[in-house]
Amino acid sequence: MDCRNGASGRPAPSSAGPTGGSGSPASRTKTRDLTVGEVLSSFTDGPETGIFTDGASEGNPGPGGWGAVYVVENEIVEEAKGADPYTTNNKMELTALIAGLGMAPAELPIDIYTDSQLIVNIVTKWADGWETRGWTKKSPGPIANLELVKGAHALRRQKPLARIQWIKAHSGYRWNEYADALATSYRRQVH
């Protein structure tokens, strides 16, 4: 998750010290965008198998990007990224999750990681109820990004063995940092 120039929604930094995980350097992605090469040479911690997704926006709304990477035992199986000139962080997070769900094999259990607790809750807790009520919430107001929510929900149903998990942002976990580098790559191409 990344909303530079706006409220980030990121958890407060850990009091565990200057390293992320169990020994990787503390993430530099909080202060500057890293390339995927810099991520691979800097970080080693975190899960070695799974699908990692991330979205970013500069301003909220503003230009943004998303990234997803599928890895098995630290080897990249597939990756995807995209950008939008005027979007929100949540749209990019949902777009990344949809791409990640698309990568997930239907016949194998797999963890799909996102650093957005909101997106985890939307897809794993709230979407079923919203669908039951005709895609309305109990509280007043529309469901934000409804078409993306419906898309993520439908894909999750098609991939019942995929487990959507939260992973802490910018804590030095290699493949989450990699997904962040994919999501923020639009900045390196635009600026």
Residues classed as catalytic: 54-55, 93, 115, 170, 180
Phi and psi dihedrals of 181, rounded to 5?
-65, -40
Of the candidates 100, 31, 33, the one whose C-alpha atom is nearest the C-alpha of residue 64 is 33
- Which tokens in the block code for residue 50? 């799974």
